[in-house]
Structure formats: C-alpha cells, structure tokens
Amino acid sequence: MITFDEKRNVFHLKNDRFSYCFSVERGKYLLHQYFGRPLREFRGSAERPAVDRGFSPQPGAYENERTFSLDVVPQEFATNGHGDFRIPSLDVVLENGTNVVELWYEGYEIKKGKPALEGLPALYASDDEAETLEVTLADTKGRMKAILSYTVFAGDGVLTRSVRYMNTGKETLRLENAASLCLDFPDHDFDRLSLYGGHAAERSLERIRLMRGTMVTGNTRGASSHQQSPFLALARPKTDELSGDVYGFSFIYSGSFRMATEVEQFGTTRVIVGINPDDFAWTLAPGDAFQTPEVVIAYAHDGLNGMSQAFHQAYRNHLLRGKYQHAVRPILVNNWEATYFDFDDKKLDDLAACAKDLGIELMVLDDGWFGHREDDNSSLGDWKVNREKLKGGLEGVAESAHKRGLKFGLWFEPEMISKDSDLYRAHPDWALHVPDYPSSFSRHQLVLDLSRKEVQDYVVNSVCDILKSGAIDYVKWDFNRHLTEAFSAGRTPEHQRETKHRFVLGLYSVLERITQSYPDVLFESCSGGGGRFDAAMLYYMPQTWTSDDTDAICRLSIQTGTSYVFPPITMGAHVSVTPNHQVGRVTPMQTRAFAAMMGCYGYEMDITRMSDAEKQQVKEHIALYKRLRPTIQLGTFTRLLSPFEGTKNETAWMFTSEDAKEIALFYFKTLSEPCTPIRRLRLAGLDPDAAYKIAAYYPAQSLSHDSDGSGTGTLVGRTFYGDELMQEGLNVTKINTDFAAYLWVLEKVMK
C-alpha cells in the first residue's frame, strides 16, 4: 500500500480507491504530486516547468536559483518565513521572539497497522488492514521536529493524516498554530461544500464555488458546534450524488477548529485543517511533544455518495468501538418532550407500561431527576437522585422498566456546573472563569474545568457512582453551552491559552475511563441536539442525538446533511408529537415515523396520551422498523434526492442490506404541487444482472400494502432486473397532500 521510489524520491500511498503521491525535493522539501484515482506508478508526467515568479522569494540555500520558490510549489507541510506566503502548517514562537524555523526532510518509516494517537480519538486498524507512513522533518538548527503520519486503509477510500510536533532543542517553544494537515491542489476548479447551522438547525449543506483568497469553516466555541461542522469537501463542479471527483475532509476533534481553503495568485488551492489557532497556544518545553488531532480524507470519483460511503465505512469499521459497534440499537422512548421536568415515579411507570405494549425496547429518563432541578436553573454537578420527585429512587424507575423487559437509560450533563449547586458552593474555582471579570452564563450554567485532573476525577466518580448499581443500560451525555472565559484556576499564565484544548483532552480522558469501565452500557452523545456531532465523540459513544428539532420535515434536511459524513447507525432520530414543539408543524404520523426510521429510531412524546388508533399505527411502525432495522443500521446508505438540491422539495433515501438482498427506499415530498412532472426514482448500486421483487409498498399516510390506485402499488409482487431499476426506475404516484412519505421494500430474488 505504501512504497518509496528511491530513484524518483516519491512516496506512493495507494489502495484500490486512490493514489496519493508526494516527493522529497532536493532532499529537503515534501512536495505534493498527485491525489486521485489509483495510478499504476507515479513517474511525474506533469513535471512543473521552472518559472521565475516575481515576488516569490528563494530560500537562503537557493539564492541564485530564481525559479525555485516555496511560494509556488505544492507542499505537504508549510512553515513561516521562507517565502511561502500561504497559510502555514506551523507557527512557533522561539525564545528570541521570532517565529521562523526551517524544517527539512530527515527520513521515513513505514509501519504495519496504525499507531494510536496519545490521548486522542483516531481511526484504528489491525496490521493487515492498514499501513502507516511516518515522515520526519527536522529543524536545521535542531530546535524541533515534526513527524507527519499518513495511514492508508486496504479496503476503504480514506486516508488519515496528523502531525506530532517535538521540541528537540534547549529552549521553550510556543506553538500558536499546529495544523494537522496541509494539502495543495494544482488548481481551484472546485465547488466548496461545508455544513452550517445553528441550534435545532444543524448541518445544512452549503455548496458554493471555491473563491480566490481564504475561506474558513470553523469556530472558537470550544466545541465542534451546531454552527459549523468539522467537515469540508472540494468537488469538481459537475459532481453530483453519483458521479464526479470529490475530496472530503472530516476532523476527529470536538473543540474549536479551522478548516481553511486558500486559492492563491496562480490559482492553486491549499487546504489547512487543525485546531483553530485563534483559540490556541501551547508551550512546548524541551523534550515535550504535541500530538495534533487526526484528519480523515475521503476521495471518491463516484460523487458525493461515494465520498459519504467511504466515510461511513471507515467510521463504522475503524472508529466506532465496543459492544454496539456492529449491533442494532434499541428502539427507545425518551421522556423529554413528553414531560420536560414535570414527572414522578407514577408517570414514568405509565410510560414504561405503554412503551412495552407498543414494542419499544428502552426507556430513557431525561433531564430533571437529580438535585432540586425543577427547571434548567439549578443542580448541574449534583448527580444525586431527587427523592421528592422519585420516591423509589433511580432503582425504582429502573426496576419498573426492567420488570417489563425494557432497558433503562439515564440523562447526564457531566461537563457542566450550575451556580445553584452544592458543587459550585464547594468549588467555585472548578468552573472555567477569569479572575477579574464576571463569568458569562448560558442556560444559567457554567462549564466545568475539565482541564484539571481533580475535576475529571469528580466527573468520572459521580457518573460511575450511578452506573455501578448496574441498573443503567444506556446513558445520554448532554452538553448544553459553549465555552467562555475559558481559563483555568489551575494553570500558570504561560499555559493559560492551552485551556480550551486541554478541556477537550480532559473530556476524552473522562470518556475513555467511563466507557471502558462500563462496556455494556450504550452511550449516546448530545449537545443541545447535534451540537457535538463529530467523529471524536463517536469514538467514545457510538450514536449522537442528531438535533433538538424533532419536526419530520426539518429532520429530512438535518439527517441528510449529517449523512454526508456520518452513517445512519450513528444518528438518533425520534418521532414526536404534533403540533411539533420546535416549529409548530402538523405532519402525518407515518411521515414522522418514516423520517425517524433513517437512524436509531425512537419516540420523544407522551405515548400514554395517544388514541387507540394511534397506538395501533405506532405498533405497526415499530414492527416495520424492527424488520428493516438491520438493513437501515448495518447496510449501505445512498442519497437519491437531496433536500439541498433542485426544488428542495423532495428527499429520497435508499438503504441496501449488508448482503445486498434487501432494499428500503424512502421518498418524501414536502409540499404538494399542481401540474408537476411524475417523479421518477432511479435506484443506485444494484446488481444490474440480479432480479429484485417489489416486496412491499407503503403509500403516503397508509401502512396498507395495497395499490393506491396509481399503478405504482400494483407493482407489488412483480420482479425487475437491477439494470432496469437503475436506468428506468420507479414512478411515484401523483401526490395531493403535503408532507407525503412513501416506502418501497425490494428483495433480491435471483442472480
């Protein structure tokens, strides 16, 4: 997978999806050469002509060679001060106050498998699944080294990159920018894709022409955030869901990040990914090392679905861990939208009884069970059950669920502290704060200083004290504000700007300790919905609550947006009541159910208050989901129609089971329209030579298998070859209702 061509000084990283090549120029500089479809061998057919470019300086060693400048070559790693004026990989301040070092190639090592990154979540692989190249760059004055890591996976269309910065000299260094990745493309003929949003409106796709100058996706919130996701893609302009070249970048990090593109004077494009330097500095003493988080790069020549499937496969096989990595997830009911803070033992017992009757498998007790928390003003940090509310304690609620054969889950928000809490009264300095100015509040709460070991220990112990009863099968781990005044009472001035990154490292350490101690517990991360839906959190917790917006129509966009990077098995998706609590929309139960079936299915409503007819419908939906669950959660996901494209009025999702024998095809139309063309749905990824039977069809708002009189339903029981289903496709009936949802189930019957 990884070779070094001694004659041409070229590293060639290759699998059956791509080749990635870079060379060692003049024995010193790493120049990017090629990234795209696999090459037999890289020989340099597009050798760059030597051109003397004005205002592009020569490094000191090449004073008389006016055609050589670091400003005009594609670099794998860029430093300050030697004539490359683009965004650098590194900004390091020396004791003399300057920020210029000179890092030259020193050597390389190729390893089987993939070494772990100390203290950081990252993809993992066994020795026969991947190979890792480590290239060392060393400062010519011996001050520091940078070790660039590249891992290629045998069966996946992804490559990972990270850097380890080491202080090898005698003076203290201050890192003010320590990027994980620098990658230069020879042109800028790209669309730039990113995912933006806000609370309850996460991950809308933005696709714009890549512009000259610098464009940044990122934030300084101390979290991967609802506002900008740590994802970026560059796609050739005609790229669509099923064709075209695309390069996707996903950052395995949960704090402030920066993903920048820079199109410079000659039209080339630099991509820089790393911790956001606006929010970071790190003091590196002699002998110390700093490990950056990892970037996952997915290359696909078969469009945006190709990129997404490469991410999905890599994350399912090399990121998620533990008992639930490849296991279907339980169908849950969560009491948040059912009761908010207003519940007692009796109400929860009624919910459990009803849940069991409907076929639900897990009951989750959300916020409000601890301290004296009657609203969101108090008690975060006091993880002791409120016995006035729950007379039988947590044991009682857990027992009521367990005795009915349900699993029991519990909500925590362990990184937070309320001003009105025993914890704050005992340890006011445990909240992130600055000495001279008042702290900023958000949802009436402050953030615990997880950069401190004693605070990490408190969090681990208080959560484990509850989990050790053995009564908790599932944990929802919430995080409901971003970091302000992010400084630490436990740190000297020169280390204060490390606090935000140390907070993230502290969180990872806490999560590792807790999740490894309770391997049978299913953990779901949450941050006011999907405010920390990132690959790093998925390393510890294999699913995330996708959004606080539970409206089915909003969820079509939020879940489709999320699917550009993350597979359905990672997305919490629940049916809620109408009018919807976030947007007031009234949608049919079947549309709500079909939208929620895209992920880890559940209910977020007072199921005890449903009519008998509604309960019957819910039972049928749950039975249907249980049947399709392995296909949806463990199969391959394909977007056929995206709500971010065209009229933005239609969405179609296709799920293909692992053995490729079952297909679930969902189609949604938001608003009905007069006089529109009949929608043709062309399937994708089928075996053209295999025959598929239309096993079931669920027309809008009915679980009936019968024809809806349109012709489409009469196809049930008929068989078609894969080529026809992909080229000709299926027609959707004329729709005369808003918020319509349809489902076809196909079975491969012969090859």
Distances (CA, A) of 509 to 283, 380, 456: 21, 20, 8
Beta strands in 60-129 (DSSP E): 90-93, 103-112
Is 474:518 a contact under the CB 8 Å cutoff? no
Q: Give the shortest CB-529-to-ligand DGJ separation in angstroms.
A: 5
- CB 558: neighbour CB atoms within 10 A? 29
Q: Report angle CA 500, 502, 507 to the nearest 5 degrees.
A: 100
Q: What are phi and psi of 580, to 5 degrees?
A: -60, 140
478 is catalytic: yes
Q: Give the shortest CB-256-to-ligand DGJ separation in angstroms.
A: 21
Nearer to ligand DGJ, 129 or 337 (CB): 337
Q: Report angle CA 154, 156, 161 to the nearest 5 degrees.
A: 85
Give the residue carrying structure tokens 């037999």: 40
Q: What is the DSSP letter of 316?
A: H
Strands 719-721 and 691-698, by their bridges, are antiparallel
Nearer to ligand DGJ, 223 or 730 (CB): 223
| Tokens, residue 117 | 């990154």
Q: Give the shortest CB-533-to-ligand DGJ separation in angstroms.
A: 11
| Closest alpha carbon to 412 in 348, 364, 446, 346 | 364
Question: Catalytic: which of 367, 420, 478, 551?
Answer: 478
- CB 750: neighbour CB atoms within 10 A? 10
Q: Give the shortest CB-338-to-ligand DGJ separation in angstroms.
A: 11
Nearer to ligand DGJ, 415 or 548 (CB): 548
Is 595:573 a contact under the CB 8 Å cutoff? yes
Which residues are CB-neighbours of 34 under 8 A, at least 6 positions away? 19, 20, 21, 42
Q: Give the shortest CB-129-to-ligand DGJ separation in angstroms.
A: 35
Cα atoms in the 13 Å half-sphere on the side-chain side of 379: 16
Beta strands in 264-399 (DSSP E): 269-275, 282-284, 289-291, 294-300, 332-334, 362-365
- CB 211: neighbour CB atoms within 10 A? 11
Q: Give the shortest CB-592-to-ligand DGJ separation in angstroms.
A: 16
Q: Give the shortest CB-674-to-ligand DGJ separation in angstroms.
A: 39
**Three-state secondary-structure class, residue 568:** helix
548 is catalytic: yes
Nearer to ligand DGJ, 258 or 476 (CB): 476
Q: In the beta sheet, which residues pair with residue 571?
A: 544
Nearer to ligand DGJ, 548 or 551 (CB): 548
Nearer to ligand DGJ, 362 or 696 (CB): 362
Q: Give the shortest CB-547-to-ligand DGJ separation in angstroms.
A: 8
Q: In the beta sheet, which residues pair with residue 217?
A: 259
- Taking CB atoms, the residue at the shortest distance from ligand DGJ is 367
Q: Give the shortest CB-443-to-ligand DGJ separation in angstroms.
A: 8
Q: What are phi and psi of 82, to 5 degrees?
A: -110, 25
Q: Give the shortest CB-398-to-ligand DGJ separation in angstroms.
A: 18
Nearer to ligand DGJ, 76 or 202 (CB): 202
Nearer to ligand DGJ, 529 or 588 (CB): 529
Is 337:581 a contact under the CB 8 Å cutoff? yes
CA–CA distance, 527 with 540 (Å, rounded to integer): 15
Is 62:40 a contact under the CB 8 Å cutoff? no
What is the three-state SS of 615-627? HHHHHHHHHHHHH
Nearer to ligand DGJ, 385 or 624 (CB): 385
R_g of the chain computed on alpha carbons: 27
| Tokens, residue 43 | 């020989």
Beta strands in 553-599 (DSSP E): 571-576
Q: Give the shortest CB-334-to-ligand DGJ separation in angstroms.
A: 7
* CA 615 from centre of chain: 34
Which residues are CB-neighbours of 107 under 8 A, at least 6 positions away? 135, 136
Which residues are CB-neighbours of 189 under 8 A, at least 6 positions away? 236, 237
**Three-state secondary-structure class, residue 3:** strand
Nearer to ligand DGJ, 106 or 606 (CB): 606
Nearer to ligand DGJ, 361 or 478 (CB): 478
**Three-state secondary-structure class, residue 558:** helix
Nearer to ligand DGJ, 481 or 500 (CB): 481
| Tokens, residue 487 | 């400084």
Q: Give the shortest CB-367-to-ligand DGJ separation in angstroms.
A: 3
Is 389:347 a contact under the CB 8 Å cutoff? no
Nearer to ligand DGJ, 36 or 198 (CB): 198
- Name the site residues for ligand DGJ (rule: CB under 6 A): 336, 366-367, 411, 478, 480, 526, 528-529, 545, 548
Q: Give the shortest CB-622-to-ligand DGJ separation in angstroms.
A: 21
What DSSP assignment string belongs to 440-457? P-BTTEEEB-TTSHHHHH
Q: In the beta sheet, which residues pair with residue 547?
A: 529
Q: In the beta sheet, which residues pair with residue 378?
A: 420
Is 102:233 a contact under the CB 8 Å cutoff? no
Question: Catalytic: which of 91, 382, 534, 548?
Answer: 548
| Closest alpha carbon to 241 in 662, 686, 554, 645 | 645
Question: Which residues are tagged catalytic?
Answer: 478, 548
